[in-house]
Copies of this chain bind each other. A is one copy, B any other.
Amino acid sequence: MKPHNPPSARECFIDNASIFRHLSHDELAKIPIDQEPDFYKRGTIIYSEGSRIYGFYCILRGIIKIYKTGFDGKEQIIRFAKKGDIMGFRSTINREPACTTTQVLEDAYICFVHADVVLEFIRQNGNFALELLQIACKELGEANDYITDIAQKTVRERLAEAIIHLRKEFDLDKDYYLQITLTREELANIVGTATESVIRLLSEFKQDGLIELTGRKIKVLDEKTLHKIANMNG
């Protein structure tokens, strides 16, 4: 079940791109970097909205879906987390219960760092604090864009935009399909619409030669036109 080549936790803490890259040797000594990262199987819920969480989750491998549950039980996908991303810092820092649920979409290896350690690092190491602030601010900017899009764009525009985002965020597989596979319902929960609407629009896009569909796999054929449909800046 579990593959035989788990990544080393060191990847997560010592890598150049890691938020922990600014830590000194002494500081690094406080995290169990030699411990094996935890393995989470597809479908596992790592933590749920409303539950207490006790620290950070750093993704080493895999894909996590992060969502909120609306009033009528419908899920709204807020973002995805993948290699190099962290989850749970909002709750850790504000000492509040989680405001999202996180579920594994693709088998994942994850390191956990306890809140006390993180808070100590923030206080002790200015560069680490700044790094975290930058991550939070980046997400904040993306969230603001998201709000504006959902409030003002049509479903068609948002779906085109979502596909482009997915293409930018995730790799392609060997056949140039998006690496991430989502059900139509999950796509609908990104865009904020009904499953049936996504289905209809996807087959329109396919008719128009913008994408190719094979089961849940999506291949982008004409990014330029998708961009135009999405009325995007970025």
Contacts and interface: CB of A to CB of B under 8 A. Distances in A.
B147 A78 contact: yes
Given A136-B136, A143-B140, A143-B143, A68 B130 contact: no
Q: Which residue, A93, A125, A148, has most C-beta atoms of chain B within 10 A?
A: A148
- Majority SS at the chain A contact face: helix
Chain A contact patch, size range: 35 or more
Interface string A134-166: 101111110111111111110000000000000
A152 B76 CA distance: 8
Contacts of A71: 152-153, 231, 233
A148 B78 CA distance: 8
A136 B140 contact: yes
B148 A151 contact: no
B152 A100 contact: no
A133 B141 contact: no
B130 A93 contact: yes
Contacts of A150: 147, 150-151, 192
A126 B136 contact: no
Contact of A129 (B70, B126, B138): B126
Contacts of A96: 141
A76 B129 contact: no
Contacts of A195: none
Interface stretch (A51-59, A116-124, A172-180, A209-217): A116-124
Interface in A85-124: 89-90, 93-94, 96, 99-100, 119, 122-124
A26 interface: no
B93 A137 contact: yes
Contacts of A74: 152
Q: Which residue, A93, A147, A231, has most C-beta atoms of chain B within 10 A?
A: A147
7 contacts: A68-B147, A76-B151, A94-B134, A122-B130, A123-B126, A136-B136, A152-B192
